[in-house]
Amino acid sequence: MKTLNDFIQMKKNGEKIVMLTAYDYPSGRLAEEAGIDVVLVGDSLGMVVLGYDSTVPVTMADMIHHTRAARRGAKDTFMLTDMPYLTYQISTAQAMENAARLVQEGGCEGIKIEGGEEIAPQVRALVNAGIPVCGHIGLTPQSATALSGYKVQGRTAEAAKKLLHDAMALEAAGAFMIVLECIPAQVAELISKRLSIPTIGIGGGAACDGQVLVFHDTLGLFERFVPKFVKQFETLGAKAKDALGAYAAEVRSGVFPDDAHSFSMNEEQLQKIYGDHED
């Protein structure tokens, strides 16, 4: 399992950090076996697993439950868990209590929280308590309504300067890594060069120190919409539908199950059963 120092060293060496979301045992296991550096149990599970329209309805209970499941699959991979909506913004005490639950009950190594300078006090308190914190700026899904929807952030000079200021405030507060979502590649590059901690892009361009994608997006399992920054490395959703359709057709036609997929008894045992009922 990689450590915080490993991630800093990877940035210094120009080695890209690979982060991927996972939400259960199978996705956690596959991520680990694929050599992913960081598994993120994202609150994106609200949309890709639980079927909500946003991440806002996701609860602490949801995140703990799914972190436990992903942990069983990825036992030896550094794991982060998203703190859900309004579980850290109200106060440092609230943030401490909920982050501790995710680490103690969920089993993750650290947590990820959305926001800039305004949440620096929470970041500082968590780090001082020994809980690693990954920041998240740019498009922050929990605040998408306030940001006028899922739109690219930092496109004006003023907005870009605000992102840089927020990133530097999070680093100063002790964050060990920052996710940059949906911001111009040039802005992400500027931030990445200014910080001594790694940046992880998702719609932030190639100059970030690493990249993160959602498990279901990467494999083509979530088809409701495909953001511009997503590359589907496989189309398992379409293949799964074809396979399930073939299964349904074979059951209805009687082709499945055949002898190869059924169990049988030897003739002697059958005679003992039927012999008692012979005339």
Q: Strand ranges (DSSP E) for 169-275?
A: 177-181, 199-202, 210-213
Mark whether 181 is an active-site residue: yes
Give residues with Cβ within 8 angstroms of 35, minimum separation 6.
18
- Count Cβ neighbours within 10 Å for each residue of 111-128 and write b for 16 or more, e otherwise: bbbbbbbebbebbbbbbe
pLDDT in tens, 260-273: 999 998 888 888 88
Average pLDDT score, the chain: 95
This prediction's pTM: 0.94
Burial of 88 from C-beta contacts in 10 A (0-12 / 13-18 / 19+): buried
All structural domains of the chain: 4-234 (3.20.20.60), 239-275 (no CATH)
pLDDT in tens, 13-36: 999 999 999 999 999 999 999 999
Radius of gyration (Cα) for the chain, nearest Å?
24
What pLDDT is stored for residue 269 in this prediction? 84
pLDDT in tens, 172-203: 999 999 999 999 999 999 999 999 999 999 99
Q: Which of 32, 171, 181, 189 is catalytic?
A: 181
Point out the residues of the chain with pLDDT beneath 70: 144-149, 276-279
